[in-house]
Structure formats: structure tokens, C-alpha cells
Amino acid sequence: MIIVMSPRATAAQLQHVIERIEALGYHAHVIHGSERNVVGAVGDERGKFQLQSLESLPGVDSVVPILKPYKLASKEVKAEKSIITVGHVKIGGPRLVVMAGPCSVESREQVMETAEVVKRAGAQILRGGAYKPRTSPYSFQGMEEEGLKLLAEAREATGLPIITEVMNPREIEIIERYTDIIQIGARNVQNFSLLKEVGQCRKPIFLKRGMSTTISEFLLSAEYILSQGNRDVILCERGIRTFETATRNTLDLSAIPVLQGETHLPVVVDPSHATGHWRLVPPMAKAAVAAGADGLMIEVHPHPEEALSDGPQALKPERFIHLMEELRRFAEVAGRTL
């Protein structure tokens, strides 16, 4: 932590800052500058809230953190990439993993039909929402346990592991009973109570970046899960909120190499929620593979114009099959398989 003093700070103010730093168990190291002094607080700054409060002291201009605030998520603690195993599927290894399926589970026909298509196209995991976070209370809220049963039935029929979202700590138990991967949605990325509770689950956690979550905050949310003992965390970039309205969100693909420089956890991209328009999904899926993503989450619906949620962003079966063929070629050039 670097404490930047004001140009008008007195010697007594500087001395007081030094004393507070040392009282908090850090070593203070002053650099006398041409216009102002700065003080380095040497020590592990991760329990840093108290150092930050030094900003309130007279003569202090600002407090600048130097160390990364996350530990278990960082490559400094674990240099080799994490590979997360779900049945026969390995996420984070050389083979790219595609998770596909409908936004919401709506009926047995819809789930079974989509699961068959998804499997035939070469996707390895089936996605589908049973408990749905909807902006409006008047929108379809999901089939709940009935939906979980349909997903399990589709797994039975196709052999594909399933992923579904949890929103409420009270529902973790029932969801964990059915699903293979537990998804935390973008709106819950800083629902710290939920993060702590899924950190105690034995199933892998798929954590979506929030609409206004910085990469550093995103890794701290992963750290919440990891610090509870669950080491199987998959990160998902799904678009951030910006001023641009031509797309539902702005897909931040540079998050892939930035994350890969910081963490050992696998990084998956969801081009469906990021763009909100099915026409934009194929180019963004290919771009994600080229940028080094470990996998993709893609929405597929047999009849998008009748979907109960997010119809405009779902691919029809034949388009998804075609996309998978294209992706295979991009994966190869990127040094991966699919």
C-alpha cells in the first residue's frame, strides 16, 4: 500500500501516518519526493480495510493498493491451470467445452428436443434454467423443481452433464441434488451470502461476471467460493454494461487474456447473453475461441419466437449445428480441440 501525502502536509502529519502504519503491523518506508512525500506500508495488505482508512488522516491525499487483493484465485499461489472434472468432461484442458441449451426449461418436449440437438452437434454439457432471475416480477419465473427433473431426465437420455442456476441459499440443497454444475448468475456475483454457501458445496461452481463487475472484483467473488473450500470454480465472461445499446451488453473479450494472466481458473464465454441477438452469437463465439477461451455457453431453442425468455438471442438447432462445425476449425487453429 502506498500512502500519498498532500504537498502541504506537515512533518507532524507525516510522522502520525508513520505511527499509524506501524501500529497496524506494517513497516513504514518514506520516499521524499520533489513535490510531495509518499509512504510505503510494507506487509501483506490483503486485510487492508484499516490501511485504506488512513485516507481520513490530515495530510493524506490518497492510499494506493499495490498487491492484488486475491490469493487463492491467483497464479502466484497456483501457477498451473486448474482443470475441473465433471463426469467425463474436463473444463480448462486442451479440449474446449461447449455448454448449450435453452435459457429456461419450458416443457419436456422442449428440453428433450434441445438436448438431442445439442448432443448431436458435439456440445458436452446441457444448460437450462429452472429458477430464473427475471427483471420483472410479471415475467415467467421458471418451472422450479419440475424443471430440475426434466433436466435430469435429459441427462439420463443423452449422457450430458447438466448445469443450472441457483438464486436462493434455501434452494442450494435441492439444486445440488439434481445438477452437475451450479451456476451463479451475473446479478448474484456479489451476493456474498450465496457465494459463501456454494463454497461449501461439492459440485463445481460456474460464476458469471456481473454487468458492472471489474475483473479484480470478479476474482474476489471467486475467492469467496475458494476460501470456503470449494476449489472448482469456472469463470464466465458474459458482457458488461456500457453506453452502447446496439447490443444487450458489451462482450469484453479482452477479459479472457487478462484473467488468464491473473488466475489459474478456466474462463468460459457466453456470447448469447452478451449480445442479446442470435445473429451476433456465431462471430462472437468464434472470436472467443480465437482469444483463448476454455469454453462457451450458448443458448439453443427449437422455436425461439415462442421462447418464454430471451428468445431473440437463442440459436435454432440447424444454426447451432453449423456453428459447431465452424468452431471446430477455429479451435484447431487455436491449438485446441472441440
The rounded distance, in Å, linking the Cα atoms of 193 and 151 is: 26
Rule CB under 8 A: choose which of 19, 146, 173, 306 binds its own copies.
306
CB atoms within 10 A of CB 276: 17
Given a contact cutoff of 8 angstroms between Cβ atoms, the answer to whether 249 and 205 are in contact is: no
CB environment 59-72: b (16+ within 10 A), e (fewer):
bbeebeeeebebbb
Q: Name the DSSP class of 269.
A: E
Stretch that binds its own copies, among 82-90, 119-127, 146-154, 165-173 (CB under 8 A): 165-173
Beta pairing, strands 181-184 & 84-86: unpaired
How many chain residues touch its own copies (CB under 8 A)? 114
Least distance between its own copies and beta carbon 232 (Å): 17
The rounded distance, in Å, linking the Cα atoms of 302 and 57 is: 62
Q: Which is nearer to its own copies, 89 or 233 (CB)?
A: 233
The rounded distance, in Å, linking the Cα atoms of 244 and 264 is: 31
Per CB under 8 A, 153 contacts its own copies: no
Least distance between its own copies and beta carbon 104 (Å): 9
Stretch that binds its own copies, among 82-90, 109-117, 145-153, 305-313 (CB under 8 A): 305-313
Least distance between its own copies and beta carbon 157 (Å): 26
Given a contact cutoff of 8 angstroms between Cβ atoms, the answer to whether 191 and 214 are in contact is: no
Rule CB under 8 A: choose which of 10, 31, 157, 177 binds its own copies.
31
Q: Which is nearer to its own copies, 81 or 196 (CB)?
A: 196
Per CB under 8 A, 174 contacts its own copies: no
Using DSSP, state whether 259 is helix, strand or coil: helix
Between the CA of residue 24 and those of 2, 3, 18, what are the distances in Å?
14, 14, 10
Sketch the per residue contact string, 182 through 211, with its own copies: x for CB under 8 A, - otherwise: -----xx-xxxxx-x-------------xx
Q: Which is nearer to its own copies, 15 or 168 (CB)?
A: 168
Given a contact cutoff of 8 angstroms between Cβ atoms, the answer to whether 124 and 89 are in contact is: yes
Sketch the per residue contact string, 33 through 52, with its own copies: x for CB under 8 A, - otherwise: xxxx-x-x-xxx-xxxxx-x
Least distance between its own copies and beta carbon 275 (Å): 5
Least distance between its own copies and beta carbon 100 (Å): 17
Rule CB under 8 A: choose which of 11, 80, 138, 202 binds its own copies.
138
Terminal CA-CA length for the chain: 44
The alpha carbon dihedral of 305, 306, 307, 308 has a sign of: positive
Least distance between its own copies and beta carbon 156 (Å): 28
Q: Which is nearer to its own copies, 29 or 120 (CB)?
A: 29
Per CB under 8 A, 7 contacts its own copies: yes
Nearest CA to 99 out of 232, 195, 236 is that of: 236
Rule CB under 8 A: choose which of 10, 15, 85, 212 binds its own copies.
212
Ranges within 270-289 binding its own copies (CB under 8 A): 274-275, 277-280, 283-284, 286-289
- Segments in the chain forming alpha helices (H): 11-23, 49-52, 108-121, 145-158, 172-178, 192-198, 215-226, 255-262, 271-275, 281-290, 317-333
Identify the helix (H) or strand (E) that includes residue 236. Answer: strand 233-237
Ranges within 62-81 binding its own copies (CB under 8 A): 63-64, 66-67, 69-71, 76
Cell of 208: 458469471
Q: Which is nearer to its own copies, 30 or 83 (CB)?
A: 30
Ranges within 96-125 binding its own copies (CB under 8 A): none
Rule CB under 8 A: choose which of 121, 308, 324, 338 binds its own copies.
308
